[in-house]
Structure 1
Amino acid sequence: MRLLVRMSMPFSTYDGAQFFECLVSRVQRAQDDPDCEVAVIVDVNLPPQYATYANPRNWQPDGTYRVEALVKSNRRSLAAFIASGDNEWDLSDDES
């Protein structure tokens, strides 16, 4: 699954975040937004051009990087996950 994700950065837009599309390995509901009204938490294969700005705390043991994906920007791609009611999906074998 490819999603438009939001990554905090020391520069870029007015809110200090950069948006870009990338391949998602895992998607999960945020604890403070269990109905997925605003965003979901995703682990991504971070593109190399963003690795320089990556916060070390967001790297996961499997080598992915944790960011968020806004539901309003990814509604169709996230529809099945949101409708399922599941807390987490592992997409690491997904080739799409």
Structure 2
Amino acid sequence: MRKFQKGDVVLCKKFEIKQKLCIYPDRTSFEPYIDDTYFNRKAYISKTYKEHMDKALGVLHEDRDEYEITFLDAGNTLAWVSGEDLILLLR
């Protein structure tokens, strides 16, 4: 398990398999698709789980391998991404 620090630049490899509703003239169906909105995007670690919970609750909290990341291209954030879904680019 790799630990990241606040400010590390990472590559997000998070994706999900979802279902979409497809409406055809003769039928409707649910079809699986891959949601790759966050896949292969550069971001930086803006918060760690432990740091955020310690500050929010005011007590020491357990350390988890979860991070809030801010994407470099759009500036939007994604909270509590597993360290397994991140690749370190720059420390």
TM-score normalised to structure 2 length: 0.30
Judging by fraction of residues, say which structure has more helix. Answer: 1
Which structure is larger by alpha-carbon Rg, 1 or 2?
2
More strand per residue: 1 or 2? 2
Q: TM-score, normalised by structure 1?
A: 0.29
